[in-house]
Structure 1
Amino acid sequence: MEITNFNFYKKKWKVLSETIIKPGLESIQQALDKLGNPQDKHRIIHVAGTNGKGSTIAFLSAIAKEHGISYGSFTSPCMVDVHDQIQLNGHNVTSEQMDRAFQKMQQAGLSEMLTDFELLTVTAFLVLEEEALDVIFIEAGMGGRFDSTNVMKKSITVIPSISVDHTNFLGDTIEEISWHKAGVLKENCKLVIGPLVGEARTVFIKEANEKSVSVIECERDFIIKNNTYTYCNIQFELLRPGMIGNHQLSNMALSITALLECGFSLEESKTQLAVGQASLSGRMEKIKEDIYFDGAHNQASIDALVETIIKHFPNKRIHFIIGILKDKDYVYMLRRLEEVGSSFEFVEFHHERSLSANELYKYCLHDDKFITKDIEKINIKNNLNNDVTIITGSLYFISEIRRKTGK
C-alpha cells in the first residue's frame, strides 16, 4: 500500500523502494550502517504489541511536552500523509527535513535496497538524528522481531497488549504472535508490560529471562486504581485520561512508568494535566458532537470499542460507518458491533486489501443496513435524537475519509 505523499520524495530524489511487506532486518541494517547508524543516537522508548501502541505514544508525548522534555516520534499508519508519521515535539516533519533525509539516502546509495516501510523507518531515524532530543518514541510496525523498527542497540520496550492480528504473517496463536512481538526486547534493557493474557505473558517472561531484561509489570509492580497511579514511592492521584475507554487507563500507566524508568522526574500536577489533554487521531476521536473516528480493526480493539459504547453511550442509538480490510476477522467484528449497533453503513474505500462493501452487507445480520459505493458521498453529520455515529473498521479507511472530507 502506497504511503500518501511518500512517492513524491522518492521520485524527487530518485531513491526507489518496493511497495511490499518483506519481514527481516538484514537490508535495513546494511542501509543504516551506510548512514552511521542514526538509530543509536538517542534514548528510545520502543512501543510494540497489538493494540494500544498509538494511544501509549500519545500519552508519552503529552506527558513529555508538559514536563518540557524534548521528544520525537515515529508512528504508523499516517492519518493524512507521510508528514504526520514523523514528529518533533508534536509537530509534523517538514518538507525541508524530508528533503535533507532523502539527500543523505541518495548519497549513501540506498535506492532499490529497501521496502517502503524500511525506507520510511530510515527516513525517520535520519530526521530525528538532526535534533537534540531527550527521548524518542518509536511505534513498531506489524510484528516486532523482524520489524524494520527493531534495529536499535538499546531501548526501553513497552507492550500494552497482545491479541490475534496479522495472522498471515505472525501466526494463528497468541504464543506465535507473542514470539514475534517479544523479539523487540534488547539485552540488559527494560520491559514495561500491560495486563497480558497468560500465554503472552509466559512468552515475554521467557524472552526477558534469556536476555537479562528487567520486567516492570502492570498490576504487579505498578497499579492504576480509582484514577490513582502507584509505583514504588510515587503516587499520582486524579489522573483522568482525555481518551475514553477503560483500556486507556493502563496505556496511561504504562507511559508514566516508561518515562520514569527512562530517568525522567515527573510531577503529579503536570502529569494530571498532560493525560487529560492526550489525544490520538482515529482512536475514539471526537470529530464533532456525537461523531467519532475509531480505528478498531481486530478482536481485542472491537471488544474495547463495544465496552466503551456500553459504558459511555447507554440508551443511545449507534450508527456505524464501516470499512474493513479483507484479512481481518470481519465476521467476529460484525457480530460484536451488532450487539450495540442500531444501523450499519458499509463503504467502499481504496486500499489494496479492502473488503468489498457488498461482502460486509452480506455477512451483517442486522436489518438496518445499506451500502455507500462512493466514499465521498458519506454523510457524516449528527443523527436525529442525539444518536451517536462511529466510523470504524480500519485506520486506513479513516485516513481516506479524513482526506476526502477534510475532517
Structure 2
Amino acid sequence: MTITDVNTVFADEKSAQLSAARSREQAFQARIDRGEIRLVGGNQYEVLTGWDRGERFTVGRNAQGQIDEIIAAHGLDSRADGTIALYASSPAWHGLGQIIPGGTADIDEVLRLGGLDFTVVTTPALYRRDGELREHADQFHTVREDTGAALGVVGRRFTPIQNRTAFEFLQELVNRYDVVWESAGPLRGGRRVFVSIRLPDTVTVDATGINDKIVPYVAVMNDHTGRGTFQCMVTPWRPVCANTERFALRDAHTRWSVRHTAGAASQIKEARRTLGLSISYYEQFAAEETALARTNIAVSDFHALIADIWPLDDEASSRAKTNAASRLGALDSEFRTEVARVGQTAYAAERAITSYLDHVAPRRPGKTMTEEVARATAALVGAEDGRKYDAHKRLMLLTRN
C-alpha cells in the first residue's frame, strides 16, 4: 500500500501555484516593458499596440497582490448559452468570443458563431386606452424572433434587412478573392450587427522608404432600431495600431447606405457590384499616401492644420480653450510617436490625426455600450470621416508646393 505524505503533496501544489503566479506576473510585466500595455490608474490598464489599441481592462489581484483575474471591459453581447457573441479569425485583446484560427469562408458558420443567426420581425405597437390594448396604426416594434427582445420603434414602410441578407452579398468577394471572414457579432443586444472581411492585397506606402503596410478591409453594419441604415464601407486598417479611415479620394465610392425598405435587397446587390470596382482605388490611395510620406512638415504647419480643423473663436469660453489646449497636447503626443516611426512628414501628421480621432478623442458612450464599443462603432460607421478627409485634403496641398 502506498502512503501519501499530505504535507509533501501540499508543498508541491503550493510551489506549483507560486511558480504559476510568478510566471503570470513576469509575462504581464514583460508586456508593460515592451510598451504593449500601460497602467492608467488603479488596477486599470490600456492596450497600446495592435488592432485593439486604446481599449482598457481591469486586473484583479488577490490578498498577496498577485494577478487573480483580468476583467475585460468589452461590452459585447452574450449568447443564450452564456458565451460571448463574437466570431473572429484571430484572438481579440480580451480573449473572448468564438475563434477559428485562420478564419472561415462559410457564412453560415460566421452567423452561428457570431450570434447573428436570428431574424427580426415587426409587430404592431400597442397602447392601453380605457382598460384595453389598442394598435397604433402607423407604428411598429422591431423584435428579435429568438429572444422576443424589442429592438426599436419603426414606421409602416420599414422592412427589416435580415442579417443573412445584409451579409451574404460579401460571400462572392470571399469566394472570388479566396479570403475569409474576419469578424462578426451583435452590439447592444442585436440592435446593431457587423461583419468584416480582409481583402488579399496589402497596400504599401512608400515601398522604398518607410515601407508602411496598410491592410484593406470591407466592413458592413446593419441596424435594427429604425434609427440607422445598412452601411457598407471599405476601410484601410494599419496593423500596427488599427487606425481606420475611408479612402480620402474625391471620386472613390467607399461607402453605401441603404434604408430598410422593400427595395433594399436590390440596392445591396448594387453595392456588391460597385464594391468590386472600388478595390482598384487602393492603387491611387497608396500613391497619395506615398506623396505625403515624402513631404516634410514643420511643427508650426502641423499646429496650423489643427487650428483649421478644430477652429476656436476669439470669444471662446475658458472651458473651450482648456479643451483645445488638451487636444493640442494629445495631438502633439501622437505626432511625436509617428515622427519617431516614419519621420517628420505630412504622412506622420495624417497618421497622428487619425490615431487621435480613433483612439484618444473623447467619446461619450450610450447607456447600453462601453466607451470601447462606442469608439469602435464610431470608427466603423465613419463618425470622424469629415475631419479625416479635411486633414488629408489640406495635407495633399503641401505635396504640390
TM-score, shorter chain, exceeding 0.5: no
Shorter-chain TM-score tier:
under 0.3
TM-score, length basis structure 2: 0.26
Select the structure that is richer in strand: 2
TM-score, length basis structure 1: 0.25
Higher RCO (CA-CA < 8 Å; seq separation 6+): 1
